[in-house]
Structure 1
Amino acid sequence: MARHTSEHDHDPGTHEARIVVSRVIDAPAGDLFDLLTNPARHREFDGSGFVRSEDRSFRISRVGDVFTMNMEGAHMGGEYQTDNHVTAYEQNKMVGWKTAPAGTEPPGWEWLWELQAQGSGATEVTLTYDWGKVTDKELLKKVSFPLVSKDQLEQSLGLLAGAVAAS
């Protein structure tokens, strides 16, 4: 079963911008949460194609955790690393992080995964990509937000469904 919804907000005057996609996945919330909190598995459901592998990571267990990922993308000139600062964590319900170039503080974009059980065997997964808190004007000139499209986010949900089914 797949039900998709999406939303895309952008107001250049206030720098509020986000993309939100949702899908019902035939898997318990706990199984999905296990995948989302394991950075070693993130490449399996990365619809952007930027994630290469985890680096010095561990299972996400609380707000304040930081995990590092090996990435690749033309927007950063090739290979690079990110530090991901966990900003949301609720067992089997949500996990989120702000991403920053390794060794720097997050400049304002955030990923949030929310899980809403739909009975015992299905979960509505909502993925929000929010870059509305990016205030660095030089960064806003240099980086063309959104770096990840709505289609790529929807692909992430499809890949997540495949990854949990294969687990």
Structure 2
Amino acid sequence: MPRENVSATLSVAAPAAKVFAVLADPTTHPTIDGTGWVQEPVDRAPLTAVGQTFRVDMHHAAHPDGDYRVVNEVRAFTANRTIGWATGYEKDDGEVEFGGWTWRYDLAPTSRTGTDVTLTYDWSAVPQHVRDRGITFPPFGPDHLINSLRHLAGIAA
């Protein structure tokens, strides 16, 4: 079975609590993003629990609308250790449909002032009807994850 996730790890010169606080703040996500697609958070409240949703305005030249909005639902949350979300969109009827891909950050403290951060993008739950649209997974280049972690490190330091 082919691998359906990619990960990157970077040592960050900041304590896990500081790194986690940056990740739990949707207002930092445009700066962390390594693609430039994330524009502005619509929901600006800190992420605090599994099940919480937050919306983000996006831009991608290859998207049919160019500008669009995603809805993220927190799926993993252990303070100072793990945070992750699934990405979807709000349909005309107000229901949210998730695409089957997730983003996850795992934090491993290495000292009082250092943390190894692993970012994983997983598309293993993408249904066939989404794959049939011709979307390539992952939809970004190989440097995206490490660039995002470098941006995160710069904010957290």
**TM-score, with structure 2 as normaliser:** 0.91
CA distance in 1: counterparts of 2:131 and 2:79, whole angstroms? 34
The one of 39, 52, 55 equivalent to 1:65 is 52
Residues 93, 115 of structure 1: 8 Å contact kept: yes
CA distance in 2: counterparts of 1:65 and 1:76, whole angstroms? 26
1:27-69 CA-partner distances (Å, limit 9, x unpaired): 0000000000000111111002110010033110000000000
Residues 98, 108 of structure 1: 8 Å contact kept: yes
Count of aligned residue pairs for this structure pair: 151
The one of 113, 119, 122 equivalent to 1:127 is 119
Percent identity among equivalent residues? 32
CA distance in 2: counterparts of 1:57 and 1:106, whole angstroms? 21
1:5-27 CA-partner distances (Å, limit 9, x unpaired): xxxxx71xxxx500010011100
Q: Supply the RMSD in Å over aligned alpha carbons.
A: 1.3
Letter in 1 for 2:79: Q
- Structure 1 stretches of 5 or more lacking a match? 1-9
1:163 CA displacement: 1.2
Q: Which residue of 1 aligns with 2:75?
A: 87
Residues 21, 150 of structure 1: 8 Å contact kept: no
Structure with greater helix percent: 1
CA distance in 1: counterparts of 2:79 and 2:112, whole angstroms? 16
The one of 94, 98, 107 equivalent to 1:115 is 107
User: RCO greater where, 1 or 2, for CA within 8 Å and sep 6 or more?
Assistant: 2
